[in-house]
Each structure stands twice: as C-alpha cells, then as structure tokens.
Structure 1
C-alpha cells in the first residue's frame, strides 16, 4: 500500500472538522460552545451538517468532543458501548437521571468504559480547551442517542426540536419538522425507572482506568485494557490495547479487521511494506485488515498509544448493579 493510500486513512488533529450543531443541546446555555467530531463512521450526530472523515466500516465508530472550560455535554444514554479517553484537559464525568448519582474526574490518558443504559454527561473543568476521544460500538452506533427529558425540554426553549427519527431541526433558522413527522417523545416516568443510578464507588472501580496505572503494567507487553479477558472485562464490540515505549515491538502485527491507532503522548512511527507515517497526539489512523505494520516511538521521551480492533460482540456491558 502506497503512502498516499495510507494518508487517506489518517485524520490529522489539525484537519479535524468540527460540527457545532451536532446535538439537541447545541443552543442550550452551558452546552452551546461544544464541538463534535466524527472521525470514523457516522457516529450518533443528529445534524446533517456533521462531516464524517472516514466512512469505511470498522464495526465501531471513532469520534471526539472538544469543549472550552465550563462547557458540558448534556445527560444522555446509548444502546451500545461508549468508551472515552482524555486527549487534552481535565474532565468531570457524571451520571444518573439528574446527573447526581455519581461522578469521576479524568486526566490526560485516563479511560472510561461507560456501561450502556445509564444516563451520562461530561464537562471540561480544566483551564483550556479540552478534547476527549470516543469509541462507540457498532457501525450505526446503536441507532442514536436517548436524551434525559429535561434536555429535550430545555432545547425546545432555545429553538431546537428532535424528530422521532432522530433528526435535528432548528426552528430559529426556519427549519420545522416535516409534515406528518412528530417530535421525539420524552421518556415516561416508568421508562426512566429502568435507568440505573449506580454510585461513584460502583462505577469507578470497574470501568475507569488511570493512565499512569496503564503505563506501569505495559512495561513489557501491550496491555489489553478492554476485552473479554482484559483489565476491564467487557465485550463492547471492540478490544482496546495500550502501548508504551517499553511495550512497543519492532515485529510487525496484523489483524483480521481494520485497526485504529490513536496516540495519547509522543510521536509514533507506523511502518508497513511500502511506506511509513508519523502520528502525533490527536491523530487517528485506520490500518487495513491483514496489513502487517509496526508501531514504535519515533522520538525520545514519553510515548503512549491506544489501539482499537473490532470484534463480533454486539453492544457492550449493560449495568447490572
């Protein structure tokens, strides 16, 4: 494969194209400055304005959220897996019907495998623009987002209406629901009671892993962070590995499905028969299935990288209490 062919499968951090109207809370004060990025796959964006960088099916989606300080993403749930790792900044994740059941603060490189079926949100509590990377299970990411009722109601007060088909319409811009199409109904009280309210202690111990802990255990071989027999035992439709300088190998690896490489720290040289490319933090690279490649740090200093490869598992762990 030529370097030109592979460059088409790399999304550089500086080339990311944000969408500022991706979700129903895009006009709600406190959430109206966030930027959504859809890097691989269609994700769960509700806006026709969302740009998709790589459309090749991987069995999962890669996206990102960029937010200035004090900006938050409203409470929502997914039917498939949602995994975040922090690329830049300091973030507070919170969950529960009202967002007060539990919370955890994550720093650069920390990873959070959020169980399906729980309302969750997040906010940038750092001092600068922050970025979190997201992995969503399934090629269609489970058919969209389930919003907490108050999010839908607040959005309507600011001109945004979500259709029952999951499409967003900005009434302030003169866009109304098509004839015969109804707005997305809010969940009933009976439906809301089916969404668990786990505590901080219940969630953090099983679903959060800290960057420096992963660095410590990947000193001889890549650490399997998420997977059936991994540190976080889950089957979300993909495996997540963590590579550092000591665990990087010059021997080539290959997979029976496309692999996605996302550096957290340092610069990484990705080599294959026919060429090589260098990735920096924030870059995302899709390696074709069956292509043998090497991943090694290209400069001295700290280096860490997350690798994602799809599996046949459909959705991810649902909270069971």
Structure 2
C-alpha cells in the first residue's frame, strides 16, 4: 500500500468537515450552534448536507460532535450501541424521558457506552469549544434517530419538520413536506413506556470508563474497555481497547478485521509495508485487514489511543436494567 493510498484511509482532525444542519434541533435555541461530523460510514444525519469522509463501514460507524460552551444535543435514542469518548472539553450527559432521570460529567479521555432504549442528550459544560468522538453500532447505525416527542414539537416551532422518510425539511429555506410524505409521528404514551428511566448509579457503574483509571490499567498491556471480558462488559458488535506507549510493542502485526485507530493523546508513528505516517490527536485511521504494520508513539510524554474492531455480536440493545 502506497502512502497516498493509506492517506485516503485517514481522516485528519484538521480536515474534518462539519454539518450544522444535521438534525432536527438545528434551529432550536441552545442547540443551534452544534456541528456534526460523519467520519466513517453514513452515520445517522438527517441532512443531505452531511459530508461523509470515508463511506465504507467496518461493521460500525465513526462520527463526532463539536459544540461551543452551553450548547446541547437534544434527547434522542438509537437502536444500536452509541459510545462516546471526550476528545476535548468537559461534557454533561443526561438521560430519561425528560432528561432528568440521571446525569454524569465526563472529562477528556473518559468513555461512555450509552445504553440503548434510553433517551439521552449531552451538553458542553466546559469553557472552550469541545469535541466528543462517537462509535455507532451496525453498518447502517441502526437506521436513524428516535427523538423524544418534545424535541420534534420544539423543532417545528423553529421551522424544521422531520418527514416519516427520515429527511429534514427547512421552512427557512422555503422547503415543505412533499405531498406524498407525512411528518414523523410522535411516539405514543404506550410506546414511551419502552424507554427506560435508568438510575445514575447503574449507568455510572456499568457503562462509564474513566480515562486515568484506564491509563493505569494500560500501563503494560492494552486495556480492554468494551467487550465480553472488558472493563465495560458488553457485546455491542465491536470491541474497544485503550493503548498507551507501554502497552504495545514496535513489532509488526496484522489482524483479520478492520482496525480503527482513534488518537486521544500524543503523536503516533504508523509504519506499514509501503510507507509510514504520523497520527495526531483527533485523527482517525482505518487499517484494512491483513495489512502488516506497527504502531508506536513518536514523541515523549502522554500517548494514548482507542482501538476499535468489529465482532460477530449483534449491534443491538445493551441496557440490562
């Protein structure tokens, strides 16, 4: 593989192209400044303006959300796993029908395997622009987003209507629902009973990994973060590990699946048969199956990255009640 071919498999943090109209709350005050990034796979954006950096999926999708301080993402749910780690800033995650069933604050490097079957939202509570990276289960990321009813109603008051076809129509641009498309129906009271009001204690205990705890666990071997035998014991269709300079050698290796590298801290030298390159914080690299390569920090100091690989497990529900 030539360096030019490998570069097509790398999405550089500085080259990310945002979409500011990705979801139904794009005009809702408090949510109207957020940016959505689709890095690998089509993601769940409801807007044709969304730029997809790498279309092929390795069994899951990679995306990101960037938000200024006090900007929030509205309450929604997915049918497959949604995992976030904080790249920059300080974030409050909240959940429940009205967003008041529980909440947790995550710092840089922390990872949150958000259970399915729960309405969730998140807010940048830091002092600067923040970024969270996401992993969505399944090649089609579960077919889209299910919004809490009040989110759809609020959006309509600000000119955005979501069609039953999953497409947004913006009256501020002169758009309206096509005659053959109905509005997305609101969930009924009976349907809303299927969404859990998970207690904070259970979520924090079973679904959150703290960065510095994982860094300690990864001192001399990869820290298994999400997986059957991992810190967060779950099988969402992919497994996640945290690597540090002490937990990986410079020997070449290959795997039989796609290997997605998501750099958290430091600069990492990636070497393969055909070239080498350096990965920086926020960069995402999709290494193809069977390619022999090696990975090592290229500078002194803190170095960490998340490594994600698909498994044969279904990408379905994770909430265990």
What TM-score does the superposition give when structure 1 sets the normalisation length?
Answer: 0.99
Residue 10 of structure 2 corresponds to 10
Q: Does 1:133 align with 2:133?
A: yes
Render the CA deviation track for 1:288-307: whole Å, top value 9, x for unaligned.
11112111100000000000
Q: Is the 8 A contact 2:80 2:136 kept in 1?
A: yes
> How well do the aligned residues superpose, as a CA RMSD in angstroms?
0.8
Shift of 1:317: 4.0
Q: Is the 8 A contact 1:234 1:317 kept in 2?
A: no
Residue 241 of structure 1 corresponds to 241
Residue 285 of structure 1 corresponds to 285
CA–CA distance in 1 between the matches of 2:316 and 2:214? 21
Residue 214 of structure 2 corresponds to 214
Render the CA deviation track for 1:219-241: whole Å, top value 9, x for unaligned.
11111110111111111111101
CA–CA distance in 1 between the matches of 2:38 and 2:87? 15
Structure 1: 5+ residue runs without aligned partners? Answer: none
Give the secondary structure class of the aligned counterpart of 1:216. helix
Render the CA deviation track for 1:115-158: whole Å, top value 9, x for unaligned.
11110000000000000000000110010000000000000000
Shift of 1:310: 0.9
CA–CA distance in 1 between the matches of 2:85 and 2:17? 20
After alignment, is 71-80 or 254-263 more displaced? Answer: 254-263
CA–CA distance in 1 between the matches of 2:65 and 2:186? 25
Q: Is the 8 A contact 2:79 2:317 kept in 1?
A: no
Shift of 1:254: 1.7
Matches of residues 22-37 of structure 1 in structure 2 within 5 Å?
22-37=22-37
Moved over 4 A (4+): none
CA–CA distance in 2 between the matches of 1:285 and 1:320? 32
Q: Does 1:193 align with 2:202?
A: no
Shift of 1:253: 2.6
Render the CA deviation track for 1:62-110: whole Å, top value 9, x for unaligned.
0000000000000000000000000000000000000000000000100
CA–CA distance in 2 between the matches of 1:197 and 1:254? 42
CA–CA distance in 1 between the matches of 2:295 and 2:224? 16
Residue 114 of structure 2 corresponds to 114
CA–CA distance in 1 between the matches of 2:57 and 2:41? 6
Structure 2: 5+ residue runs without aligned partners? Answer: none
CA–CA distance in 2 between the matches of 1:103 and 1:148? 17
CA–CA distance in 2 between the matches of 1:295 and 1:165? 43
Render the CA deviation track for 1:185-239: whole Å, top value 9, x for unaligned.
0100111111000111010000001000000001111111101111111111111
Give the secondary structure class of the aligned counterpart of 2:97. coil
Residue 93 of structure 1 corresponds to 93
CA–CA distance in 1 between the matches of 2:115 and 2:320? 9
Q: Does 1:296 align with 2:288?
A: no
Q: Is the 8 A contact 1:63 1:134 kept in 2?
A: yes
Q: Is the 8 A contact 2:12 2:282 kept in 1?
A: yes
Paired residues in the alignment total 321
Give the secondary structure class of the aligned counterpart of 2:213. helix
Shift of 1:316: 4.1
Matches of residues 218-229 of structure 1 in structure 2 within 5 Å?
218-229=218-229
CA–CA distance in 2 between the matches of 1:171 and 1:314? 39
Residue 274 of structure 1 corresponds to 274
Render the CA deviation track for 1:3-58: whole Å, top value 9, x for unaligned.
11000111111100000000000000000000000000000000000000001121
Q: Is the 8 A contact 2:222 2:244 kept in 1?
A: yes
Residue 181 of structure 1 corresponds to 181
Shift of 1:256: 1.4
